[in-house]
Structure 1
Amino acid sequence: MLPDSDLLCVVPRIPKGQHLSGDERVQWITKAKRAYDAGHPIRAIAEQAQRSYGFVQRALAESGTKLRERGSHGPRGADNHPRAAGGVEPSPSL
């Protein structure tokens, strides 16, 4: 299932050189977190906001967001691994 693109669109762009603080920062992080939790990658959020990957990653971590592993589309944790749910690991092709 693809993430809701409307959630990515609500992450506001931050003009170059502008610093976020106070309520404005909290509101931006809330919108970025909502987009991330819906499945959008940090890179897409950073591109939308015109900020670096590191800025978005730090902001999400600061908000207590549980970050996904690289290449993952769900929250980090063993519960979401296919083998944890009794799934069968695919056999390697020869």
Structure 2
Amino acid sequence: MAPEVPPRSSGVPGGPPVESARTDPNRQVRGDERRELTEYVSVEYEKGQSIRDIASTIGRSYGFVHRLLAEADVDFRTRGGARKSPRK
């Protein structure tokens, strides 16, 4: 089950939420919407989701998600899985 993407506000008080970034992956994300998306991405990454999984969930590229995480000063995990035996 994929995590739910948080709704983004339209910037107009009482206005409808903006459609998710999935509708137009080339649209620039700025201001409050970018801060909300950065927070969402950071929380999901800290929960253990991979960057690729988060990117596919929100309909954006790996590079975009990585950039958001870097802007949030997230400590990146090392590449690959756990080793089964100690390194020789």
Please report the TM-score for the alignment, with normalisation by the length of structure 2.
Answer: 0.68
The alpha carbon displacement at 1:90 in A equals: 2.8
Aligned pairs, number: 73
**Structure 1 letter corresponding to 2:61:** S
Structure 2 counterpart of 1:27, from 17, 22, 36: 36
Q: Which amino acid aligns with 2:29?
A: L
Match 1:49 to one of 58, 61, 79: 58
Give the aligned partner of residue 5 of structure 2: 10
> CA-atom RMSD, angstroms?
2.7
| Structure 1 unaligned spans of 5+ | 74-81, 83-88
Q: Which residue of 2 aligns with 1:65?
A: 74
Structure 1 contact 11–35 (Cα < 8 Å) conserved: no
Q: Percent identity?
A: 34
